[in-house]
Amino acid sequence: MATIYEERAKIFKALSDARRLRILELLQNGEKCTCTLTDEVNMPQSSLSYHMKILCEAGIVTGREDGKWTHYQISKQGSEKVLALLKDTIAIDETNMSCNKCSNT
């Protein structure tokens, strides 16, 4: 079972690649087919599939099969989870600002 930190790392890993960020930017305008994405990001279908797998496993993107093609879109639930995760990860906890070892604040 993955720890909370491993789950968070999976999401941040999905966002840590320039090509995946470009794909997400394209998907902001709505659902896109694999054939459209391969042209737009100028990569072979096998490479696109690799990146889409990472985005889908992180829950950021969902895919819908249609014949031999897959259509992808940003998951509303996934995007809300990413925003909440980022906020929680970098939030400052002002209730515990002192160091117990050296008593400095």
Q: What is the DSSP letter of 30?
A: S
Whether 49 is covered by a domain: the verdict is yes
| Whole-number pLDDT of residue 94 | 74
Read off the CATH number of the domain in which 56 is found: 1.10.10.10
Pull the structure tokens for residue 61.
């993107």
To which H or E segment does residue 33 belong? strand 32-33
Whether 52 is covered by a domain: the verdict is yes
Closest CA to 26 of 14, 41, 11, 16: 41
Q: Which residue has the higher pLDDT, 105 or 95?
A: 95
The dihedrals phi and psi of 103, each to the nearest 5 degrees, come to 60, 25
The rounded distance, in Å, linking the Cα atoms of 83 and 85 is 5
Hey, is 19 helix, strand or coil? Answer: helix
Q: Read off the pLDDT band of 63 (50, 70, 90).
A: very high
pTM: 0.83
Whether 60 is covered by a domain: the verdict is yes
Residue carrying the six token digits 């600002």? 97
Per-residue pLDDT tens digits for 75-88: 999 999 999 998 98
Whether 97 is covered by a domain: the verdict is no
Q: Which domain holds residue 25?
A: 4-86
Pull the structure tokens for residue 97.
């600002």
